[in-house]
A = this chain, B = another copy of it.
Amino acid sequence: MDALRQHLARIQDLRHAAAVLEWDQETHMPSGGAEGRAHQVATLRQVAHETFASDATASLIESASPETEVDADLVRIARRDLARATRLPAPLVGALAEASARAKTAWAEARQDSDWALFGPHLERIVDLTTQKADLLRPLIAEERGAGYAPSDADARYDALLDEYEPGASTTEIAAVFADLRSHLVPLVQDIAARGAVDDEPLYRYVPETIQWELGMEIAYAFGYDLERGRQDLSAHPFTTTFGIDDVRITTRVDPNFFPTALYGTLHEAGHALYEQGISKELARTPLADGTSLGIHESQSRLWENQVGRSRAFWRRHFPAFQSQIGSWMDLNADTVWRACNRVQPSLIRVEADEVTYHLHVLLRFTLERELIAGRLAVGDVPDAWNAGMETLLGIVPETDRDGCLQDIHWSLGALGYFPTYSLGTLMSGQLWDAMGRDLGDLDALVADGEYGAILGWLRENVHQWGRRKTATQILQDATGSGLDAGPWLAYIRDKVESVYG
């Protein structure tokens, strides 16, 4: 067991080293370093992969004698990861990496020029290679899920892609959840539009960048983000990265004329970081010390960003600190800012969407990529399908593909099957918040008193500490008593809409 642990620890070291290099690349690296850095990261990833996907790993796993439950989980997860790492032939992995690198460049150019034709051939290649990948992984997934697993051919293929981001997730189940969401949210958005707009002018008042930075960090710290085991830097796109349980970093960006970018960026990433910092230390330097799925990860970021950070109780507690720092906020109060932060309004760009419409953006992407993978949608028809979907779901249509089907980087990275996890995470955050309320009582009162330790403690106990020892489904079942369920989040959002627009 010790030999396996030592072997896996070295592989974790290599992966964390790659993460440090990628973090530096996005935060501090001078532009000239780009070419060398690409080589360094590729070499580290390759060495880590070769060391892991090896006969040595297989024989260490087979000869390991687990003595504890953690040992047993470690062997189980190592075996699972090894099966995946050795499933894909090196030429396919190389072709995917190369296609992604080219597609990423083409996407940036296509987006700049709003020219889908520049990107189309690259997406065709990505879809082709991703389909090959899915077909190679399918038997593995089927074997893991056992006799009752009988999806359609197309869904089985998409399941294999989903599984990389949300282990165990089912396309059929997700499609049903989205149908449910859609049936509630499309009329809700129309209903809100009929009620008249919320005044969101306070969001656009100038707030100096250093003040935004400090207020965000104060709140992240109050949530429990440990700055002796983390830090925040600036980057073009906010992200969280971990170099081990005791060094989990976040980034943000700051718009002096739109404070929610930095504030909610920081709170969102702090939510991710709290998860990584809360993993049990006995899992350090093992592959168990990681988020168990992207959905669970997103549930943590969304919960702190939305259920906590966009609540009326939050603004009543923190508004005085904002007002004392921001000269132009003298005429505002906690409720005007809270209301502005919760305006609901159909918009073109997913990452700027409000809580209600966000799911509809995700649903559109899920629908289209599912059709692409099933071979029922041609790449050339994506722009029309996108615009038709926007019209149906949100009642607005982008004037250019730049604000439409070219807005997201994900497809160029080959990350098909990723988008649904954003909505899954949001729904899970609703379930967890609901269960937490049953255990802890009045959560708004805790937020109003700044008693974030109680909330964090509950998440530590029920979610964070486990790392990958429990699946997303097990986490949900043990913490909330049920599987994936849109109900609690829908109840939460109806309540909020009622209080904001009522």
Contact = CB atoms under 8 A, between A and B. Distances in A.
A39 to B, nearest CB: 5
A21 B35 CA distance: 18
A230 interface: yes
Contact of A285 (B14, B39, B47, B226): B39
A32 B231 contact: no
A32 B243 contact: no
21 contacts: A9-B39, A10-B43, A13-B39, A13-B42, A14-B44, A14-B47, A16-B36, A16-B40, A17-B17, A20-B24, A20-B40, A24-B24, A28-B231, A30-B231, A33-B244, A33-B246, A35-B246, A36-B245, A36-B284, A39-B285, A47-B47
A229 interface: yes
A231 B29 CA distance: 8
Q: Which of A21, A30, A227, A246: most chain B CB closer than 10 A?
A: A30
Closest 3 CB pairs of A and B: A33-B247, A36-B244, A32-B229
Contacts of A44: 13-14, 17
Interface in A209-248: 226-231, 233, 243-247
A37 B285 contact: no
A68 interface: no
A59 interface: no
Main secondary structure of the interface of A (DSSP, over half): helix
A7 to B, nearest CB: 11
Nearest to A226: B32
Contact of A228 (B9, B24, B30, B228): B30
A321 to B, nearest CB: 24
A43 B20 CA distance: 14
A183 interface: no
A14 B30 contact: no
Contacts of A233: 28
A324 interface: no
A247 B43 contact: no
Interface in A116-143: none
B229 A33 contact: yes
Contact of A246 (B24, B36, B230): B36
B39 A247 contact: no
Contacts of A231: 28, 30
Q: Which of A24, A33, A243: most chain B CB closer than 10 A?
A: A33
A31 interface: yes
Given A20-B24, A37-B243, A43-B13, A32 B285 contact: no
A13 B40 contact: yes
Q: Which of A16, A17, A231: most chain B CB closer than 10 A?
A: A17
A20 B28 CA distance: 11
